[in-house]
């Protein structure tokens, strides 16, 4: 099992970010073929106080091949284009294997 992990730093306008994420981006990402599960985590702090992070979204796929197929699909490209439009400066994307 592998994951596509999107790590978002704190946005300037949280309300606008939340609205776009919930109403537009998450539904687009959820359409990616091969997606087994999506887990969205809202970061609310650290053991030492405030976090520089805001959201961690994890998209599970069976393996790297199906993950890449999901990203390369028309649905994956639509989600990627939307992501760059609203969160290019906030987000980093990572591939990870569940150990």
Residues that bind a copy of itself (CB under 8 A): 3, 5, 7, 39-48, 51-53, 56, 71, 80, 92-99
Q: What is the CB neighbour count within 10 angstroms for residue 63?
A: 12
CA angle in degrees (0–180, nearest 5) for 75-82-27? 55
CB closer to a copy of itself, 36 vs 93: 93
Whether the CB-CB separation of 8 and 65 falls below 8 Å is answered with no
Location of structure tokens 């704190």:
10
The span from the CA of 50 to the CA of 38, in Å, is 25
In the complex, the smallest distance separating the C-beta of residue 13 from a copy of itself, rounded to whole angstroms, is 19
Q: Answer yes or no: are the C-beta atoms of 31 and 79 closer than 8 Å.
A: yes
Question: Which residue number, 24 or 43, has a Cβ lying nearer to a copy of itself?
Answer: 43
CB of 64 to a copy of itself, least distance (A): 8
Q: By C-beta, is 80 or 86 nearer to a copy of itself? A: 80
| Shortest Cβ 56–a copy of itself spacing (Å) | 6
What's the min distance (Å) between Cβ of 39 and a copy of itself?
Answer: 6
């Amino acid at each position: 099992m592998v994951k596509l992990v999107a790590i978002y730093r704190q946005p300037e306008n949280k309300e606008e970010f939340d609205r776009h994420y919930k109403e537009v981006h998450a539904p687009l990402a959820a359409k990616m073929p091969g997606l087994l599960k999506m887990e969205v985590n809202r970061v609310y702090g650290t053991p030492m106080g405030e976090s520089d992070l805001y959201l961690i979204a994890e998209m599970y796929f069976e393996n790297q091949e199906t993950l890449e197929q999901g990203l390369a699909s028309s649905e994956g490209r639509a989600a990627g284009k939307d992501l760059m439009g609203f969160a290019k400066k906030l987000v980093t994307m990572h591939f990870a294997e569940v150990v």
